[in-house]
Chains A and B, each alone.
Chain A
Amino acid sequence: MGRRVSAQARGWDGLAPEGDHAAKEMAELAVALRDLQITKNEANRAANEILTACETILAALDNSACGGSHPDIENAAIEIMTACGFEDLVGQRATHASKIVKSLMAKRLEALGNAPEAEDGDERLSQTCVDAYFADE
């Protein structure tokens, strides 16, 4: 059974103290989710830029008048290219972490569903938090 919460006790966002804490937690989780997505995006961008540069080097070696006489450069370009596999590992780990964060957000949402009722039943979460939870990766 919920308890009635005075407007004074609710604070500026209209939430009871317990709801306020949960909303702040949700906001922090939303920020974490956003940071993970940014990490994936930046890793993808960097890896693709590096690959493009390596492909340019290899193509230039293929087309150069010297033909295949720069094995050191070719091997170095290949090593750099192979190292771009970091993007795959970063992406997989970030995806896994995102799923955990979303799971935590779901549990917080469920917990808020059982939270003490506010006097006028206003929303307990910002749209930003809700959107972050439902955002596709």
Chain B
Amino acid sequence: MALDKPYKDVPGTTIFDADQSRMGYHLNQFCMSLMKAENRARFKANERAYLDEWPMTEEQKQAVLARDLNRCIQLGGNIYFLAKIGATDGKSFQQMAGSMTGLSEEEYRDMMVRGGRSIEGNRRVGEQSGEKR
């Protein structure tokens, strides 16, 4: 029997469940390897060569090279692991989170200071943001 996944209709959200984790195992373990300074240095010196040491899919490698975090998450990445790439690049958590929203860094920060993204219109796929405000 298929697993019940009631969270599939939450907009703009990928839940890191057992299936995602299985798909993203090597991608996330690659991220984890960046906790060691020597690995960060080797990755920075030649990103492609370092990625080729991991049994990741080509799509996953391209998503990492492009720093496309939304794509990384679709392909099984988890944000806490992907944050190690951000740390390697010198990015804060807010910069990383903002990069996935289509907003500029400044727009995202301002949105948070104003109280964050509203829940209204953001509960289910198909709801129109703003309609219920």
- Genuine A/B complex: no
Residues of B within 8 A of A (CB): none
Residues of A within 8 A of B (CB): none
